[in-house]
Structure formats: C-alpha cells, structure tokens
C-alpha cells in the first residue's frame, strides 16, 4: 500500500504570493477524510473501512500509532498536538471536530504540501 499524499488547497482556493486573503482553515469534514486516510494507511486498510465514530483503540491503534498520527497532523496542518490528543478525542470524527476548532482558533490553513528531500 502506498502512502497517501496530503491534500493541498483545492484548485480555485489557492492564494498567490502577496495576496492578502489566506485560505480558510480546514473543515471537520475535510479533516475527517484526511484522518480516516491516515488511520487506514497505518492499518493497511482502505479508508472506506474506517468507521469515523469507532474508538481508534478498537482498530488496535496503540501509543506508537498515536504518536505517528500526531506527527502527521503537525506536518500537514501546522498544529502542534500532544500525543494524548488521540486518546482524549478517541475517534476519527471526534479528533476531526477538535482539530477543526483548533485550526480555526489558530488560523491554520493546512494542509501543507509534504516536501521530500532528494
């Protein structure tokens, strides 16, 4: 299974350098889709197999995966999150709702394109 790429700002929403308007913070729906993709990636499943309301522990996700997902969130959205966040908001839907609020509060416009070193 190949790692999914992180969404960038949808066409038409892009902001040219120097523009005063910035893209809006990601919605809970967009975050839910992204998070389901990340969870599916770590579980080597399809995103459609992830129930947004199921506790992440029901999939066997442990602290190592929680730490990895939090790092992915930081990389993709520029939000600093504590690894306990995954346990405090223990489903894809709950985590997405929390992150959408945090993104609005901080003005994060994520996700940012992932860069690769060559």
Number of domains in the chain: 1
Element (H, E) at 67: helix 63-77
Angle at 70 between CA 40 and CA 114, to 5 degrees: 75
- Does a structural domain hold residue 6? no
Q: Is 50 among the domain residues?
A: yes
**CB-based contacts of 91: which residues, under 8 Å, 6+ apart?**
52, 53, 54, 55, 56
Within a domain: 102: yes
Average pLDDT over residues 42-56: 94
Q: What is the CATH number of the domain that holds 78?
A: 1.10.1200.10
Query: Would you say residue 23 lies in a domain?
Result: no
Average pLDDT score over residue span 13-36: 66
Rg (CA), the chain: 14
Please report whether residue 96 resides in a domain. Answer: yes
Question: Which pTM was predicted?
Answer: 0.70
Q: Is the peptide bond before 44 cis (omega within 30 degrees of 0)?
A: no
User: For residue 114, is pLDDT > 90?
Assistant: no
pLDDT at 45 exceeding the cut of 80? yes
- Per the CB < 8 A criterion, the answer to whether 31 and 52 are in contact is no
* Residue 34 belongs to a domain: yes
Mean pLDDT, residues 5-34 taken together: 56
Q: What domain range is 66 assigned to?
A: 28-106
């Amino acid at each position: 299974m190949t790692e999914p790429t992180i969404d960038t700002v949808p066409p038409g929403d892009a902001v040219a350098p120097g523009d005063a308007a910035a893209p809006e913070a990601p919605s809970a729906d967009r975050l839910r889709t992204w998070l389901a993709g990340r969870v599916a990636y770590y579980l080597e499943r399809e995103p459609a197999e992830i129930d947004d309301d199921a506790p992440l522990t029901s999939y066997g996700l442990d602290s190592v995966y929680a730490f990895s997902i939090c790092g992915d969130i930081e990389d993709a959205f520029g939000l600093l999150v504590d690894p306990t966040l995954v346990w405090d908001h223990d489903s894809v839907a709950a985590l997405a709702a929390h992150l959408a609020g945090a993104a609005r509060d901080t003005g994060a416009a994520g996700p940012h394109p992932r860069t690769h070193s060559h």
